[in-house]
Amino acid sequence: MSLDSLLLSALAPWRSSPIWWVAFSGGLDSTVLLHLLARLADRYELPVIRAIHVHHGLQVAADDWPAHCQLVCDELGVALSVIQVRVGSGASVEQAARVARYQAFGECLGEGELLLTGQHRDDQAETVLFRLLRGAGVRGLAAMPAVRSLGRGSLVRPLLEVSRADLEAYARANGLAWVEDPSNQQLEYSRNFLRRQVLPLLQQRWPRTVSSLARTAGHMAEAQQLLDELAQQDLAAAQGIGDCQWSNLPNLPNLALAPLRGLTSARQRNALRYWLAGLTLAPDENHWAGWECLRDARPDATPRWRLAGGELQRGGDRIWWLPDAWLEPVGGPVSWFGPDTSLALPGNGTLRIEGELPSGRLQVRYRQGGETMLVPTRGRRDLKRLLSEAGVPTFVRARLPLLYCDEELVAVANLPQLSRGGVALNWCAPEF
């Protein structure tokens, strides 16, 4: 199949997309991709084709690339957008540049638009080998997906089945000019070392190394799809709200432990990896002891599993994901002057009152420890014990609004049994 036909077939599902953006670095891969699309647009009715060049400014030579890209786009009649980004510091310049680049791409995409990139079969093989050497699992060895969401649109890699040799042959046959990134020669970068030293050596012994590694990525992607489907089934029962009134707090995903305990350890980890994928970085093998502590702890214990951007905590017979913003301390007391029945709490959502406000100086406060409350028919009781009896998870208690009239605690939010004088507080927790 010709490159034209292959590309047209790969992009057939998105013919109604408003814009096809080409990630145009000026290198061989993206130059061929842009040329192919411009040629196809002359023969077929396609979405608007535009190019986008991200300028990192990491090396002197890169300053000339936007001008080169503009010249190519002018010749092809394609509009070009050039975006400058700052690359964050970190252990890996490659990774930091990649993150900055795709963040810029994602911000550029409108609803339903595509970003097309020129990664090819050799890139896929290189990615598989690189991740294999780092001990990746099934998801990692699936390497680069052909399609994934990005911003408000999608990222599509239509050339993953094409070899670099085929792209270069096309470029030379059509007299295309492209830029060469000098950093691609620097062997201190791991991927460059694999590309220039390891893969050629493997191909001397096994000529089909690249296609075999790329095929492995396909097998792993299929296996990962099956694992994801299994995870969805295993999570279905655990994601029910059940009888816990706190399960519907906004942006605090939670799972019931009982259904998870009934699974094998391997299925537990698979389900949790899937569930955590949109919340935090996947835990590595050294971190799974945190899950075992959560799972096996006594019902009255409060174990924590710290992960990137937040932590998992146990509350009753459920586990909860708490983002770092939730774990931040709440502010001090807030005076409530009335007669408004709704109050915005700084950093802690809103509070609405039902019933008649008691007369006196009203304040919303938070637990400091040692609070007591006068409970009808029971006398004065320790608030900590009352919250425990009501099944309030430990991580909710520090944020739970308390209404004081003068210096007397008269109502606890969302717990009508802990209210006096017919006053009820309805707390809408913050969304982070």
Sort strands 153-156 and 147-150 into parallel, antiparallel or unpaired.
antiparallel
CA–CA dist 253, 267 (Å, integer):
19
Token pair, residue 129, equals 């080998």
Tally the residues of the chain. Answer: 432
Q: Which residues are part of a known binding site for ATP?
A: 25-30
CA–CA dist 232, 399 (Å, integer):
32
Q: Whose CA is closest to 36, among 78, 79, 3, 9? A: 3
Q: What angle do CA 27, 30, 34 make, to 5 degrees?
A: 130
Q: Which residues are part of a known binding site?
A: 25-30
Query: Are 67 and 73 in contact, with CB atoms under 8 Å apart?
Result: no
Q: Which residues of 225-246 are buried (b: 16+ CB within 10 A; e: fewer)?
A: eebeeebeebbeebeeeeebeb
CA–CA dist 410, 358 (Å, integer):
9
Tell me how far CA of residue 24 lies from CA of 9, 78, 127, 166, in angstroms.
21, 11, 20, 19
Q: Whose CA is closest to 32, among 166, 188, 187, 217? A: 166
Query: Are 418 and 405 in contact, with CB atoms under 8 Å apart?
Result: no
CA–CA dist 268, 227 (Å, integer):
12
CA–CA dist 296, 336 (Å, integer):
43
Token pair, residue 21, equals 């953006």
